[in-house]
Structure 1
Amino acid sequence: MLWLCIIFMLLIKIHLLQKSAREIERAFSEKLITHSNTLIDISSNDKYMRRLANTINNQLRILRRERQKFQQGDLELKNAVTNISHDLRTPLTAICGYLDLLEKEEKTEAANRYVHIIRNRTELLSQLTGELFRYSVILTSEEPLKTEPVVLNHLLEESISSFYTVLKESNITPYITMPDEKIIRCLDSAALARVFSNLLNNAVKYSEGNLYITLTKAGEVYFKNPTTKLTETQVGKLFDRFYTVSDARNSTGLGLSIAKNLVEKMGGKISASYKQNVLSICISFGE
């Protein structure tokens, strides 16, 4: 009889421990995905389970402090990017205006060459500043994207057509494959056009051959181009903001980061892979 009582008490103890473990598991999962400042509380009085809960609570406090630091730093960075990009645009506009006037004046051959160099550098700086400004606007905007039925076939064709001259100048021939039927998704057409533009720009920068673009019936868009300028490690960082490969001197490293941000805002996915010297970027929009 004594043995039965001991077994019965052990079973109750095990049941209570399991209950406490489930409470800790549920509470911990909730605390990780919510911004609440509440901590884990359990019904058990078992000192070991309560010690476990207290240890997890201490780590939660540390995690929350680090999260707040990160969020504050991220916000400060976004604001700094917005302010810097805005402050740069005003003097750049003035510089371009004075260059226009200077180009109309009589100059020596050497002066013409110098003005031409300044013009090229100024246009590049304007382009990079514009990209920085667009990035800051996208990040700080809290307005939801305006979705509407978009025919991916048509928008993709329009985007490629607008890049035809740039691709031709870079000796890149686009090979396009898409189904005859219309692939329609509810998306923001302006945002998607920006995504396609950034991916085509990326192909121009890194491609060492032709560009292969494929649209599937599942709503996946692939951009593939050969390149030896990348490594698998670099490809894994392509969507990180401000990341550029060593020879990408004329880039802020924001193009693909903007594309990723916009694709995810529209409920899609974007990924990159690198195999046999071929860079492949895939955008996916489900049904």
Structure 2
Amino acid sequence: MKKTRSLFRHFLIGHFLFIFFPPIVFISLLMPVGFSGINEENLILHQFYFILLLLGFIIVAFFVISWLFFLRLRKRLTRLQEVMSFSATTNSFPKPISVPMDRVDEIDQLGSSFNWMIQQLEDSRKREYEEELLRHRLIANLSHDLRTPLTILRGHATRLNKESMSLEGQNSLTEMDHTITRVGDLMDDLLSYTILTSGKDPFQPISTDIGRLVRASVAAWYPVFEEKEIQFDIDLPTEQTFYWEADPKWLTRVLDNLFQNILRHAAEGKYANIVVDVEKEQIIVADRGPGMDHSSYESGAEIGLSASNYMLKKMRLKADYASNENGTSVVIGRA
């Protein structure tokens, strides 16, 4: 069992023993014989010099012992501070410091508390990692397993669509098919977000030409918007551009998510506006849909928006959303 001792009590005892006790002993031994045979005037002078020398010895001894004590104390605290500073600069847990096993003082108790805190943080991080891994595995398995019943439902809906039924039944089948498609898209977004946050899709930033990237993304989506009869209003300068330190694949996925949300939730507006503002270094995507407060948008866009915001944050970018009943506007710029 560890025995506790007081560091400052030890300091005070040391001062008493090494400063006051030797002079007292010296005085007690010297006084009876030290001044015999000396006249009264010389005796008073010798006593004055003796007391002055004794006081000087006490003062010097006090400062020397205090300096040695606080120097040792500073070294121990500095070592503990260096360990904490190393963990702050390297963003990792520090290694436990050595603590005596027999007797401990206040500094050793502080070191023991520090070691206990490190152990608790390591255990907490380990549990968090295991829970995160389990959650990712569960989401991935659910996303995979639910595809089979959705495929079966779609097959039955297609078979029923070939049967003769009333107009109301046809409308119900159409709505069922749309619901199956929406659930499938949500599962894709959830799986994509899980893969993204688990680190399986690493962040690889490079200097990216934003004008060229947006033009390539718009060119890829243009046939889809044209098929849905959505007016594509674009303002993409060809002679001017700007650069971001970003992952081109991630930024393309962010734009894909915004364009996909227009098709899913704002197609009735029949309008999409894509702007690259070189002066402000911004990307603007706008539509004339019912807005983000619409129930369809809220139920289907949150996972995709979470994934987009996660990627933008990693790239030190941000997306500002402005939405009302006349449409939604998204401005992507530097954070």
TM-score over 0.5 for the pair: yes
1:27 corresponds in structure 2 to: 83
8 Å contact from structure 1 (residues 270, 281) kept in 2: no
Work out which of the residue numbers 255, 263, 277 in structure 1 matches 2:304.
Answer: 255
Cα distance per residue 1:113-154 (max 9 Å; x no partner): 111111111111111111112223334464646777743212
Q: How many residues align?
A: 266
Displacement of 1:171 in angstroms is: 8.9
Letter in 1 for 2:74: Q
Alignment of 1:69 with 2:118, yes or no, is no
Distance apart, 1:164 and its partner CA: 8.9
Give 2:53's aligned residue.
none
C-alpha change, 1:83 and 1:114, in structure 2 (3 Å) is same
Distance, in Å, in 1 between the alignment partners of 2:303 and 2:284 is: 18
Q: What is the distance in 2 between the residues matched to 1:173 and 1:40? A: 64
Secondary structure at the counterpart of residue 134 of structure 1: helix
Q: Which ranges of structure 1 fall in alignment gaps of 5 or more residues?
A: 231-243
Q: Which moved more, 1:52-61 or 1:149-158?
A: 149-158
**Matching of residue 40 in structure 1 with residue 97 in structure 2:** yes
Q: Does 1:156 align with 2:205?
A: no
Q: CA RMSD in A?
A: 4.5
User: Contact 2:312/2:318 (CA < 8 Å) preserved in 1?
Assistant: no
Give deviations 1:156-208, integer Å, cap 9, x for gaps: 123345279769x89998674768334456765433210222245568869x9
Query: Where does structure 2 lack aligned partners over 5 or more consecutive residues?
Result: 1-55
CA distance in 2, matches of 1:3, 1:46: 30
The equivalent residue for 2:170 is 112
The separation in 2 between residues aligned to 1:90 and 1:171, in whole angstroms, is 33
Displacement of 1:73: 1.1
Query: Is the contact between residue 152 and residue 185 of structure 1 (CA under 8 Å) also seen in structure 2?
Result: yes
1:7 match: 63
| C-alpha contact 2:193 2:307 (8 A) present in aligned 1 | yes
CA distance in 1, matches of 2:60, 2:184: 83
Which of these residues, 117, 128, 133, is aligned with residue 59 of structure 1? 117
Percent identical residues? 17
User: How much does 1:77 deviate?
Assistant: 0.8
Q: TM-score normalized by structure 1?
A: 0.69
- Is 1:94 equivalent to 2:152 in the alignment? yes
Instruction: Return the offset for 1:80.
Output: 0.8
8 Å CA contact 1:214–1:222 kept in 2: the answer is yes
Question: C-alpha separation between the residues in 2 aligned to 1:276 and 1:107?
Answer: 41
User: Is this contact kept in 1: 2:225–2:232, CA < 8 A?
Assistant: no
Return the index of the structure with the highest Cα Rg.
2
Pairing of 1:119-198 with structure 2 (within 5 A): 119-140=177-198, 142=200, 144=202, 150-160=208-218, 162=221, 176=235, 180-183=239-242, 188-198=247-257
Does the aligned pair in 2 maintain the 1:20–1:42 contact within 8 Å?
no
Q: 1:224 to 1:124 in 2, by over 3 A?
A: closer
Shift of 1:91: 1.8
SS at match of 2:64: helix
CA change 1:178–1:101 in 2 (3 A) is same
